[in-house]
Amino acid sequence: MTNQTARSADEQPGGAAEAERAPGWAALHLFCDLAAGADTEAVESALAGCHSAGYEVVTVEILGHKGDLGVLALGPSFGRLRELQTELHHAGCVPRYSYVSLTEVSEYADQVPEQMKLARLHPKLPPEGMPAFSFYPMARRRNGTDNWYRLPYEERLRMMINHGKLGSAFRGRVLQLVTGSAGLDDWEWGVTLFAVTFDDIKSCVYAMRYDEASARYGEFGPFLTGTVKSPAAILASLGRG
């Protein structure tokens, strides 16, 4: 067995590299309408209770027709996130869209410092000074000759390094959280962007579309956009505070 073959085998799900990775946090994105007669005190209590239990909870005022309230919650247990979902539903939050995933360290991140790996597994959110928010799911194309999963590991690594270099141009303006969802939801990853302005998000996503890993091998789902605010501020802006 060649070194290349051995390394590729380790990178397969369930291989040695996968087994050595620290477990990620459960992640739940909920995008809801607020029903007439919703119990706003119960909404705030549910969110505060989850945060008090040690979970990261981000609330977003959604722009457009895809919902009123967006919630991103991350922590050790999907069970606790399900409790939050139930509490919000009983309080009058009607889900319009959701996404289930896990924080992860990419298989292409061998050279990333351990501190950065930990930040990807257990992020502190939301980032200060970045109120613009966008979420979208994505997957890698498996179409004839454009099949990401038929490429050698070294070729995928090369493209991901170039992808990362392009994204680094937006450091300080855009923070990206990528969560894995293979086997958990309809796509393979969920991408959450926090930015200083919405123009920063637009510029970043547009620039990345020209990158080979995205232009040739990327498939993208719906985008959900909004502004990070406190639950009280969102409810007040909806006339429910």
Q: What is the pLDDT along the chain (241 residues), one digit of tens a residue?
A: 333 333 333 344 433 344 345 689 999 999 999 999 999 999 999 999 999 999 999 999 999 999 999 999 999 999 999 999 999 999 999 999 999 999 999 999 888 899 989 999 999 999 999 999 999 999 999 999 999 999 999 999 999 999 999 989 999 999 999 999 999 999 999 999 999 999 999 999 999 999 999 999 999 999 999 999 999 999 999 987 6
pLDDT given at position 19: 33
Q: One of 55, 99, 136, 217 is an active-site residue; which one? A: 136
**pLDDT, tens digit (0-9, with 9 covering 90-100), for 18-60:** 434 568 999 999 999 999 999 999 999 999 999 999 999 999 9
pLDDT given at position 229: 98
19 is a domain residue: no
13 is a domain residue: no
Q: How many CB atoms lie within 10 A of CB 45?
A: 14
153 is catalytic: no
Strand 218-220 and strand 174-180: the pairing is: unpaired
Using CA atoms, how far apart are residues 174 and 181, in angstroms rounded to an integer? Answer: 22
pLDDT given at position 112: 85
pTM for the predicted model, two decimal places? 0.88
The owner of tokens 């959450």 is 192
pLDDT given at position 92: 97
The β-bridge partners of 55 are none
pLDDT given at position 9: 36
Domain that holds residue 38: 24-237
168 is a domain residue: yes
90: CATH? 3.30.70.1030
User: Are the C-beta atoms of residues 13 and 188 closer than 8 Å to each other?
Assistant: no
Q: Is the peptide bond before 231 cis (omega within 30 degrees of 0)?
A: no
35 is a domain residue: yes
12 is a domain residue: no
6 is a domain residue: no
43 is a domain residue: yes
1 is a domain residue: no
pLDDT given at position 22: 61
Contacts for 151 with CB less than 8 Å, ≥ 6 apart: none
Q: What does each C-alpha distance from 217 to 14, 150, 189, 203, 206 come to in angstroms?
A: 24, 11, 14, 20, 15
Using CA atoms, how far apart are residues 105 and 21, in angstroms rounded to an integer? Answer: 8
Total of domains in the chain = 1
